[in-house]
Chains A and B, each alone.
Chain A
Amino acid sequence: MITAGIDMGSRSVKVVLLEQIKVEGAKAPSFAVKKAHLMLPGDLDADQAAEKAFDAALAEAGVTRDQVKSVFATGAGRGQVAFATEGITEMTAGARGAVFMYPQARTVVDVGAEEGRGIKTDPDGKAIDFAGNEKCAAGAGSFAEAMSRALQLSLKEFGEASLRSDKSIPMNAQCTVFAESEVVSLIHSSTPKEDIAKAVLDAVASRVCAMVRRVGIEGNVVLIGGMGHNPGFVQSLKTAMDVDQVLLPELPEFVSALGCALIAAERVH
């Protein structure tokens, strides 16, 4: 049986095709990811973007639509996926996907392009507590992206530069627009780029951490969402949360889509 999870994020569409496989002697159902596909929408039509991303994933996996038993959608644009069987919240999808990958995880930090959230989960991957909706994008990936542009660095260079700094420069602005002017002031005062990069990522981590602390840090912490690709942010988050380790999937942006596909499979049963 194949199911699909679609995460309609504000910046990209993520599709995971999941196949239930038979494992001799296993009591619980086992699953294997058949295909994971990410697409950056070229237009503003979310439904079309979902269709294109889904079709591309099916083509790459050599699967037809008829073979997919159920499609669940999550993310900010989940309501716009017309062909989805059901839509579920980012908290439910993220918690399920994270615990599937790391059964020992109980705290999930989800930082995407526009929003960050902290989720507490039970051993079955059910979200039991969450805090979300920071008041603006200053707690998410778009903010880091805007600041890297201000520093004329690529996102990769931005994250790596941050790791070379050991300075703690507080950034007071809570809004992307005001923070950018703070960054410009730091540039004019000849502050090294790596110190500014670290200040920005520390600020994002601090805002995310405030939400995670609201639900409480318990057990192992997993970071999901696109910001997991930024090594500077991962380090800032560890420092802000005062933890030695943050579990980081290889492809953190697909975890919510994976959770969606898993829940779709469970509900088919």
Chain B
Amino acid sequence: MIANYGYKDGSGEYYISIDTDKCIDCAAERACLKACPQQMFEIITDDYDDEVAWVRKEKTRALAYDCAECKPAGGYTSLPCTTACTPGAIKHSW
């Protein structure tokens, strides 16, 4: 399943997408958990009994603010989460 968290409004589109099928046998050993400075991700057992990455419920309504730290203005040249996720499950829309 591709899970999209975020929103679109007049200022743009703010989505984190996780292709949870790529999480099942994670070759990166769940590196996303430690890579995100905001501890955005957690591993949950989904409805089909697979262990997949998920955006923490309490973080889903503040993505634009929490993710802003990792954007170029924050001094990063690449996003820590997408870099750590070598299977390419995590993507950002902005």
Contact = CB atoms under 8 A, between A and B. Distances in A.
A127 B60 CA distance: 19
B3 interface: yes
Contact of B7 (A92, A134, A263): A134
B47 A210 contact: no
A211 interface: yes
Interface stretch (B8-16, B34-42, B75-83): B8-16
A251 interface: no
B64 interface: yes
A215 interface: yes
Interface string B1-29: 11111111110010100000000000000
B47 A89 contact: yes
A89 B6 CA distance: 17
Nearest to A213: B8
A136 B8 contact: no
Contacts of A157: none
Nearest to A92: B47
A214 interface: yes
A91 B15 CA distance: 17
B71 interface: no
B4 A214 contact: yes
A128 B9 contact: no
Chain A facing B: main interface SS: mixed
Given A135-B61, A172-B10, A210-B7, A130 B15 contact: no
A133 B6 contact: yes
A129 interface: yes
A127 B5 CA distance: 15
A132 B15 CA distance: 10
A225 B43 CA distance: 28
Given A128-B1, A133-B6, A88 B15 contact: no
Nearest to A170: B10
A116 B54 CA distance: 18
Nearest to A93: B47
A100 to B, nearest CB: 16
B64 A133 contact: no
Given A88-B47, A89-B47, A92-B47, A129 B4 contact: yes
Interface of A: 88-89, 91-92, 127-136, 139, 172, 174, 207, 210-211, 214-215, 263
27 contacts: A89-B46, A89-B47, A127-B1, A128-B1, A129-B1, A129-B2, A129-B4, A130-B1, A130-B3, A130-B4, A131-B4, A131-B5, A131-B15, A132-B4, A132-B5, A132-B60, A133-B5, A135-B63, A135-B64, A139-B7, A174-B10, A207-B9, A210-B7, A211-B4, A211-B8, A214-B4, A215-B2
Given A132-B60, A135-B64, 4 more contacts: A133-B60, A135-B7, A210-B9, A214-B8
